[in-house]
Amino acid sequence: MKVRGDVESVVSSMGVKLHHFEPSGRKVWTVVGKENEHWLEPDLDFCSCEDFYFKIMSTGGECYHLKAVQSAKERNKIEIVKFSDSEFESFITALVRDTISDDL
């Protein structure tokens, strides 16, 4: 199954990232996909990828990015990237800018 292969590829390449901001403890999840890095909120079952919007919202399933986060958590294969809270605004701005430019 292709989705399983995609999940395995992302997890084994440490493509699931948890960006941890200190001292606030804010967390931002991203997954490096086939072409882009996507922002996720696993607790809300949200992903910024096109599959989430165009397929998942209509079928109720999950994209492979969300599955990769679950698998990486279970296998403890998450890359944790620490930032200072002073970097939060520029990180979010860059993440949103990248997400918007990918859609253009």
* CA dist., res. 45 & res. 41, Å (int): 6
**What is the predicted pLDDT for the residue at 1?**
41
* CA dist., res. 26 & res. 16, Å (int): 17
DSSP 8-state symbol, 70: H
3-state secondary structure 15-30: CEEEEEEECCCCEEEE
**What is the predicted pLDDT for the residue at 83?**
97
* CA dist., res. 16 & res. 39, Å (int): 10
For the record, the structure tokens of 37 come out as 């890095």
pLDDT tens, position by position, 25-83: 999 999 987 778 899 999 998 998 888 877 777 777 788 999 999 999 999 999 999 99
**What is the predicted pLDDT for the residue at 82?**
97
Whole-model pTM: value is 0.84
